[in-house]
């Protein structure tokens, strides 16, 4: 099977990369800190790397997953056996204030390494310009293929997310690393490494002003706001938003990598915001965890987290487009979650619960709290789909418009209508 892939290398000439040396074939081994090792073949960058080994049950969208900044520091095991069959698109969208400059979730591959059962070198898609191996090579990301990803996943599911090392080439012959040699990305503030260093604006002429705290934003979150007419100011994760909050109609907190308790600075600032500011606030994944911590909930580390595009969540309350009692299929990528506690902090209630493991999937301010604040553990914007909950962005912006109207003398209110996500437009423009 492996040799079949070698036959399609000429196709790489359409790509952007130049390559020195073979993209496939060197021996490679995945070592887990718990003592297990899996031998396969290397693809992408021929280098060894440490990381946290996690698995994703996504069937498609490896390009979006690999560019998701929340995967920073992680060795990503795909449970889907064949990865790479539709190649990798050109990841540059024409930059203007309407969009975020890329068609994937960020400008580069963010995960530390990828683990695949059967990587496809022969790829086919009208937007593809290179193979996953070529792409990994350009971003210096190692991959390992030809390993039993089902066995690895079952291990990770039983023993939990585990530190690992992908050893490539000469390192394969070396003994496995000792327990204290493994690098733990969660011990670092990964958010600080990835968040924007300076504020910047998108769509400055938009009809409603939204501040975004960037914990490692996926591009499609910014697109989802801009496409619905928001003027977006993206701020560093620990920016003193309270000093400028009067300029904005709403606050959004993004996804981000690592342990949320590394971002206590942001949670404490947000606690002040929530106490003193009554405009709408919406957070996704890391943003939701920060809202929860600010509200007085605790975050904990799950055994193996939830990663995939097929996570069912049950709505416990109705708000905007979300109806209590319905199950929504969602995209997720998280290792931490908010603890379900009874009673919930005053003024807060659970919003969603995971149908598989009963973890908290969302919280919201109660109707009598006088606030409009929501956090969701899943990704409503999911670029890889499903889009069951995408209209939560419309709901958020409509609440911002309504609040703006209520606090002004102007009687006209802009209303954002539910919309079909025009996601492919950006990609078409890039490919043309
Ligand atoms: N996608 C995210 O924002 C993930 C949040 C956090 N890093 C976690 O793993 O739980």
Task: Look up the ipTM and state it.
Answer: 0.98
Q: Is the CB of 375 under 6 A from ligand 1?
A: no
What ligand 1 atom has the least distance to the C-alpha of 255? 3
Predicted local distance difference test score (pLDDT) of residue 3: 35
Q: How far is the CA of 362 from the centre of ligand 1 (A)?
A: 13
Q: For residues 336, 342, 348 and 351, what is the CA-based torsion angle, rounded to 10 degrees?
A: 60
CATH for 2-185 is 3.50.30.20
Do 281 and 250 meet the contact criterion of CB atoms below 8 Å apart? yes
Q: Is the CB of 256 under 6 A from ligand 1?
A: yes
Whole-number mean pLDDT of the chain? 91
Query: Average pLDDT for residues 211-223, to the nearest whole number?
Result: 97
CA distance 286 to 252: 11
Q: How far is the CA of 255 from the centre of ligand 1 (A)?
A: 6
CATH code 3.50.30.20 region(s) in the chain: 2-185
What ligand 1 atom has the least distance to the C-alpha of 257? 7
Is the model's pLDDT at 174 over the cut of 90? yes
Q: How far is the CA of 334 from the centre of ligand 1 (A)?
A: 4
Active site residues: 285, 379, 381
CA distance 269 to 240: 7
CATH code 3.40.50.880 region(s) in the chain: 190-424
Q: Is the CB of 384 under 6 A from ligand 1?
A: no
Orientation angle between helical segments 264-276 and 286-295, nearest 10 degrees: 60
To test ligand 1's pocket by mutation, which of 52, 55, 70 has the most ligand atoms within 8 angstroms of CB?
Answer: 70
Q: Is the CB of 334 under 6 A from ligand 1?
A: yes
Predicted local distance difference test score (pLDDT) of residue 408: 81
Orientation angle between helical segments 219-227 and 392-406, nearest 10 degrees: 50
Q: Is the CB of 262 under 6 A from ligand 1?
A: no
Of 179-188, 227-236, 416-425, give the lowest mean pLDDT range: 416-425
Split at pLDDT 50, 70, 90, the class of 6 is very low
**Helix (H) or strand (E) run with residue 231 in it:** strand 230-236
Q: pLDDT tens digit string along 62-112?
A: 999 999 999 999 999 999 999 999 999 999 877 665 678 899 999 999 999
Predicted local distance difference test score (pLDDT) of residue 19: 38
Split at pLDDT 50, 70, 90, the class of 329 is very high
Q: Which residue has the higher pLDDT, 423 or 109?
A: 109
Is the model's pLDDT at 23 over the cut of 80? no
Predicted local distance difference test score (pLDDT) of residue 421: 63
Predicted local distance difference test score (pLDDT) of residue 407: 87
Predicted local distance difference test score (pLDDT) of residue 79: 98
State whether CATH 3.50.80.10 applies to domain 190-424.
no
Q: Is the CB of 286 under 6 A from ligand 1?
A: yes
Q: Which residue has the higher pLDDT, 145 or 121?
A: 145
CA distance 22 to 393: 45
Predicted local distance difference test score (pLDDT) of residue 21: 43
Q: pLDDT tens digit string along 270-290?
A: 999 999 999 999 999 999 999
Split at pLDDT 50, 70, 90, the class of 389 is very high
What ligand 1 atom has the least distance to the C-alpha of 299? 10
Q: For residues 92, 93, 96 and 98, what is the CA-based torsion angle, rounded to 10 degrees?
A: -130
Predicted local distance difference test score (pLDDT) of residue 399: 97
Q: For residues 58, 63, 66 and 67, what is the CA-based torsion angle, rounded to 10 degrees?
A: -130
Q: Is the CB of 236 under 6 A from ligand 1?
A: no
Q: Which residue has the higher pLDDT, 388 or 428?
A: 388
Q: How far is the CA of 107 from the centre of ligand 1 (A)?
A: 19
Is the model's pLDDT at 15 over the cut of 70? no
Q: Is the CB of 195 under 6 A from ligand 1?
A: no
Q: How far is the CA of 191 from the centre of ligand 1 (A)?
A: 10
Burial of 414 (0-12, 13-18, 19+ CB in 10 A): middle
What ligand 1 atom has the least distance to the C-alpha of 68? 1
Q: How far is the CA of 175 from the centre of ligand 1 (A)?
A: 32
Split at pLDDT 50, 70, 90, the class of 414 is confident
Predicted local distance difference test score (pLDDT) of residue 283: 98
* 80: region left, alpha or beta (phi > 0 left; psi from -120 to 50 alpha): beta
Q: Is the CB of 70 under 6 A from ligand 1?
A: yes
pTM beyond 0.95: no
Is the model's pLDDT at 429 over the cut of 50? no
Strands, E assignment, 13-100: 24-32, 37-44, 49-56, 74-78, 82-83, 88-89
């Amino acid at each position: 099977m492996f040799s079949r892939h070698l036959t399609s290398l000429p196709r790489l000439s359409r790509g952007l990369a130049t390559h020195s040396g073979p993209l496939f074939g060197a021996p490679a081994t995945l070592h887990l800190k718990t003592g297990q090792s899996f031998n396969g073949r290397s693809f992408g960058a021929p280098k060894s790397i440490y990381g946290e080994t996690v698995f994703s049950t996504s069937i498609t969208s490896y390009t979006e997953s690999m560019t998701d900044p929340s995967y920073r520091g992680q060795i990503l095991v795909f449970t889907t056996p064949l990865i790479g069959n539709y190649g990798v698109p050109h990841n540059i969208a024409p930059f203007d204030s309407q969009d975020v400059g890329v068609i994937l979730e960020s400008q580069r591959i963010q995960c530390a390494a990828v683990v695949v059962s059967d990587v496809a070198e022969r790829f086919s898609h009208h937007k593809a310009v290179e193979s996953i191996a070529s792409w990994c090579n350009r971003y210096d990301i190692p991959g390992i293929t030809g390993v039993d990803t089902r066995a690895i996943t079952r291990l990770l599911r039983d023993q939990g997310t585990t530190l690992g090392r992908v050893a490539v080439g000469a390192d394969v012959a070396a003994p496995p690393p000792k327990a204290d040699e493994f690098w733990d990305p969660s011990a670092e503030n990964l958010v600080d490494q990835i968040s924007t260093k300076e504020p910047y604006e998108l769509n400055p002429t938009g009809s409603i002003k939204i501040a975004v705290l960037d914990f490692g934003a996926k591009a499609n979150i910014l697109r989802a706001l801009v496409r619905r007419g928001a003027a977006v100011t993206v701020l560093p994760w620990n920016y003193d938003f309270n000093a400028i909050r009067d300029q904005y109609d709403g606050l959004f907190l993004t996804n981000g990598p690592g342990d949320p308790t590394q971002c206590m600075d942001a949670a404490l600032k947000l606690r002040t915001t929530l106490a003193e500011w009554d405009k709408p606030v919406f957070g996704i994944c890391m943003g939701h965890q920060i809202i929860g911590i600010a509200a007085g909930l605790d975050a904990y580390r799950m055994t193996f987290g939830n990663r995939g595009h097929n996570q069912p969540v049950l709505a416990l309350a109705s708000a905007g487009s979300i109806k209590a009692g319905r199950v929504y299929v969602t995209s997720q990528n998280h290792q931490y979650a908010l603890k379900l506690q009874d009673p919930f902090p005053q003024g807060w209630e659970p919003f969603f619960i995971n149908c598989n493991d009963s973890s908290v999937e969302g919280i919201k301010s109660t109707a009598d709290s006088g606030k409009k604040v929501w956090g969701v553990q899943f990704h409503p914007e999911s670029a890889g789909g499903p889009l069951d909950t995408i209209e939560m962005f419309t709901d958020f912006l409509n609440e911002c418009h309504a609040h703006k109207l209520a606090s002004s003398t102007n009687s006209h209110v802009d209303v954002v209508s539910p919309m079909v996500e025009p996601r492919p437009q950006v990609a078409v423009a890039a490919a043309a």
